[in-house]
Structure 1
Amino acid sequence: MPDLVSGFEEAGTFALGRREVHRIGYGAMQLAGDGVFGPPRDHDEALAVLRMAIASGIDHIDTAHYYGPGTVNELIREALHPYPANLVIVSKVAARRGDDGAVLPYDEPDQLLLGIEENLEALNIERLGAVNLRIMDRAAPDARFDAQLTALIRAREAGLIDGIGLSNISREHLLRALDRTPIVCVQNLFNIVERGSADVLAETASRGIAFVPFCPLGMSRTARRQILTSPRLTEIGQRLGGTPIQIALAWLLDLSPNILLIPGTRTRAHLAENIRSGGITLDEQARRELTSHSA
């Protein structure tokens, strides 16, 4: 797959903690069943997607034990274990799934440690590249947040994780955490339509911290539809040789060098489309239009 590798390499690399990773990674969430619950629609295709990601050069996979729950981590293990030496697997903790698929808090300090151990066991690894503390309610940081950070610091000191990340946070969370410990990545909702975390992105960029936008192609149905059917993205794509999806991802790569992408997909065709976004260079007209006017 030389064309994939070429476009992939053009996107460059950035530090994820003490490791340097390519800026296009893979988010494994969609490998679970509908609603990120239960087994995949196509087990063999899920394994093929993971193996193709690694073969193309991807060295950063994002997961969580509550995807499934457990299903996605088991797929990653089945497809890729023993893991390539350069692969950084990042997970997140602070949530669990109910019997009906509901996402429930699992964020007491002892539960966070149990969550890390569940990831390690399911993936059959001794250490994760990083673990993101997922803030469930976006409440202002307080003593509870401090206790959660302490749990992750202890996990790092015990050698269970290489680095601490934060997810779904405000700039205030980030600054409070940095008073306690280095933060290797921040994972917030951010894409060409949903830009509410622009201040967090700016703060991470100024400090050399990786910013990993989740749902880079839209979280809400409205946002996803706006991206997929955007006349502006379509026109720019026709001019630059890309699809609306590729232009939306290329915009993120162009926006700031500390952005690491983790677009997810269930199919090899979509994986190839996502990876090729790294080979698209925005011109000044496209950059101006997309930054000023969204999709």
Structure 2
Amino acid sequence: MFDRTRFRTLLGATALTWAAWAQAVPLSVSFDNFTYSGTVTRYATLADAQNQTNPTGGPYTIQTATNGANSTLPNARDGQISVTSQAPSAYGSDLTYMSTPWYFTLVPASGNGWGNPNNTNDGFIQYYQESSPTVTGGWQPGHTQFRLTVSGGHGDDLDAGRLWPAPDSGAAAISRGAFADFHLDVTANFASPATLNGSTGWYETSAMPSSFSGTLRGIFLNDQPSNPTYNGYYRFNYTVTGPGSWAANNGATWSSGATSYGPSSEWAAPQAAALAAPAPVPGPGKIALLGLSLLLGVMAMRRSGMRLGRGF
């Protein structure tokens, strides 16, 4: 079982200053109703992992996991992202957090994560970054599509970096380390446009997206001392799909005090930049004249070259 106290500590961590987000655009996303699936391949060196040469194991594919009578979605794990950068205080602290949402449960009285089939080292990931990942995206024109990309290594603030030491499972301690590379690229589409929040000046929606897709890729360095046999570089290549998850499909929740929460979807960013006006397109006559002038120019250059060439 994963330490829920650690999870709460992560959520309550103090953010860095605005200067640390020099490569970030203003946006805020919190979404935990999707899945990721794919493979992990193990390498001895960073160069081999980067060049995808000389693997020492794999590729290993995420398999369906069970916990009692509960099963994950086929060959997938639930995922969650919380990304806030250069946002008004109403949207919370600056951070980038992507992980397996182990905290949902069908039995709240037994505690967060109880009986959750995603609450296993097998297929687990956790990236927590307060420093300076590159964050880009936001609303696209029309405010029905939201793009998000996060790039940057490390992801181990508060000793939080974790990745499945494929192909084994085991205790959480053997999955610790840091990300040598991390890249998340996702797109969410919505049935209705986001609306303007007059207090923040940002466009928001809390609706579930009608579709959510993208990729999650990177390289993880397992350097934990608990069991050095798992040390090495792990290259992961995942596909992200939503909406839909074990938690949402089964009505799972997590609790903070007396309040319980189900899967959520919150997206906010400033107004989308307007599309640039297209350049005027010449009419057929102008196109013909332009083509003729280019042709005559090329012919003149070729003739000039031929004349010059005769001197040899």
What TM-score bracket applies, with the shorter chain setting the length? Answer: under 0.3
Q: Which has the higher strand share?
A: 2
Q: Which has the higher helix share?
A: 1
The TM-score, its normalising length taken from structure 1, stands at: 0.20
The TM-score, its normalising length taken from structure 2, stands at: 0.20
